[in-house]
Amino acid sequence: MPQVLTHQQLLETAKEFGTPLYVYHAERITEQYLRLKEAFRETNASFFYACKALTNVNILRHIRQIGCNVDCSSVNEVKLALSAGFEPARILYTSNNIAFSEITEAVGLGVNINIDSLSNLRKFADQYGHSYPVGVRLRPNIMAGGNIKISTGHGKSKFGIPVEDIDKVIDLIREKDLQIRTLHIHTGSEIKDVEVFVKGIEVLFDLAPRFPALKTIDLGGGIKVPYKPGEEGTDVALLGKRVKEEFEGFAEKTGRRLQVWFEPGKFLVSEAGYLIVQTTVLKQSGATCFVGVDSGLNHLIRPMFYGSYHHIENISNNSGALRPYHIVGNICETDSFAEDRMVAEIREGDYLVLYNAGAYGFEMASNYNARFKPAEVLVKDNKAQLIRRRDTLDDLLATQLILKD
Ligand SMILES: *Cc1c(COP(=O)(O)O)cnc(C)c1O
């Protein structure tokens, strides 16, 4: 059974630290990592936490302590990972559409790099030639993931080098002796169907003979977790089994033993996170009951951005009768967390929890409407500790320069 924080624990934490509050459960992250390790125990596999999901340095340190590596989306994330104590060899930088200067900076820091455009790959080949092994992010033209906004590998996606340009990549190996060690794809988020990953493997295996220095197939992230009650995530045991079969088959056929990398984001931290809010006002409008809360799309944008579902429970009146509510934020935009959602009877002042708030929650938060971002708390060894204090008005002014009258 997965580890969860109980309503009682969440309520006590909310009362101690105030709301809105992000709460993360370290042991739950560990548990997810161990599930992956177990599923891939017979395969040469490594995991790089896609830290854009949640970059608090205490989370990064926990990820490092449990033995997982880290994947970064910007050179600043690389620097956060270094400050969390990761050695450069355990850091991967998979960017998209960045200035070449960020790549030279990453080379200076000595981390693994996946390059996602021909333009940057050419500059890289000119500058580093054979001296710095590199990975290439390809766009395999596969439709995958929960919805179009989080699908990144299809034929109209901005991500990666289109596979149809592969000859131009090969030219660089010939002309500049470029060492391409990794072929990378990341086709989307919330990929439930294991065969989508297998299809990606097959695309890359077909290309492998043309890459003599190839050591690693990097399949990116996108492993799905359940969001709705009763929903199922990706069957990671099946994924492990299928990947093992594919890689063994390839080794038998070609004599080459490649390793596989994954970059899970949501899978590691989504379910470990909770957003706790307090209800401010109830508004009855015809048959609809609006529940206003002390948060909004400035703190958790996923429902408005992607139409995402976050399960919501009333942790201060969970035995109340179930009733339908529109749960909305306090931002001057239409910001709904849920519509016609059955929740135990809600009163003003009640505490609600939004589940699956660990991934792309705080990380996408903003100060819109000059509101403070939530505080963050980490629960580890049954101890709740503040890992980011709430903003103050001084924080809102800190980077502004006041011009003279
Ligand atoms: C966002 C991202 C991931 C993680 O995706 P999840 O759906 O959170 O697992 C992995 N790799 C790359 C390159 C990404 O951009």
Mean pLDDT, residues 362-370 taken together: 98
Distances (CA, A) of 156 to 79, 168, 274, 315, 348: 32, 19, 34, 43, 47
Give the pLDDT confidence score for residue 1 in this predicted structure.
Answer: 66
Of 183, 186, 227, the residue with max ligand 1 atoms within 8 A of its CB, to mutate for a pocket test, comes to 186
* 374, HSE (Cβ side, Cα atoms, 13 Å): 31
Given a cut of 70, whether residue 97 has pLDDT beyond it is: yes
Mean pLDDT, residues 220-232 taken together: 96
Give the pLDDT confidence score for residue 151 in this predicted structure.
Answer: 86
Give the pLDDT confidence score for residue 297 in this predicted structure.
Answer: 98
Mean pLDDT, residues 191-207 taken together: 96
Mean pLDDT, residues 353-367 taken together: 98
pLDDT per residue as tens digits for the range 291-306? 999 999 999 999 999 9
Eight-class DSSP state of 43: S
Give the rounded percent of residues in the chain with a pLDDT score beyond 70.
100
> Is any atom of ligand 1 closer than 6 Å to the C-beta of 263?
yes
Closest residue by Cα to atom 3, ligand 1, is 221
Please state, in angstroms and rounded to a whole number, the distance separating the CA atoms of residues 254 and 261.
Answer: 20
Mean pLDDT of the chain, nearest integer: 96
Give residues with Cβ within 8 angstroms of 19, minimum separation 6: 276, 277, 278, 294, 295, 351, 374
Please state, in angstroms and rounded to a whole number, the distance separating the CA atoms of residues 217 and 135.
Answer: 9
Rounded to the nearest whole angstrom, what is the distance from the C-alpha of residue 138 to the centroid of ligand 1?
Answer: 14
Given a cut of 80, whether residue 287 has pLDDT beyond it is: yes
> Is any atom of ligand 1 closer than 6 Å to the C-beta of 192?
no
Q: Which residue has 């009768």 as its token pair?
A: 321
Among 244, 140, 232, 125, smallest CA distance to 186 is for 140
Residues with catalytic function:
332
Give the pLDDT confidence score for residue 165 in this predicted structure.
Answer: 95
Give the pLDDT confidence score for residue 152 in this predicted structure.
Answer: 87
- Which range among 30-39, 143-152, 336-345 shows the weakest confidence by mean pLDDT? 143-152
Rounded to the nearest whole angstrom, what is the distance from the C-alpha of residue 50 to the centroid of ligand 1?
Answer: 5
**Banded pLDDT at 100 (limits 50, 70, 90):** very high
Give the pLDDT confidence score for residue 330 in this predicted structure.
Answer: 98
Helices and strands (DSSP H and E) totals, the chain: 12, 18
Give the pLDDT confidence score for residue 365 in this predicted structure.
Answer: 98
**Ligand 1 atom having least distance to the Cα of 53:** 8
Give the pLDDT confidence score for residue 147 in this predicted structure.
Answer: 84
Mean pLDDT, residues 324-343 taken together: 97
> Is any atom of ligand 1 closer than 6 Å to the C-beta of 146?
no
Where do the domains of the chain lie, and which CATH numbers do they carry? 40-269 (3.20.20.10), 273-397 (2.40.37.10)
**Ligand 1 atom having least distance to the Cα of 191:** 7
Backbone angles phi, psi at 21, to 5 degrees: -145, 130
Given a cut of 90, whether residue 225 has pLDDT beyond it is: yes
Mean pLDDT, residues 59-81 taken together: 98
Are the C-beta atoms of 350 and 333 separated by less than 8 Å? Answer: no
Strand runs (DSSP E) across 87-179, as ranges? Answer: 91-94, 112-115, 134-139, 161-162
Rounded to the nearest whole angstrom, what is the distance from the C-alpha of residue 190 to the centroid of ligand 1?
Answer: 10
Give the pLDDT confidence score for residue 118 in this predicted structure.
Answer: 97
Mean pLDDT, residues 347-372 taken together: 98
Give the pLDDT confidence score for residue 127 in this predicted structure.
Answer: 98
Mean pLDDT, residues 33-47 taken together: 98
Q: Could you tell me the pTM of the whole model?
A: 0.97
Eight-class DSSP state of 369: G
**Banded pLDDT at 48 (limits 50, 70, 90):** very high
pLDDT per residue as tens digits for the range 245-282? 999 999 999 999 999 999 999 999 999 999 999 999 99
Closest residue by Cα to atom 5, ligand 1, is 221
pLDDT per residue as tens digits for the range 113-154? 999 999 999 999 999 999 999 999 999 988 888 888 888 889
Given a cut of 80, whether residue 106 has pLDDT beyond it is: yes
Give the pLDDT confidence score for residue 219 in this predicted structure.
Answer: 97
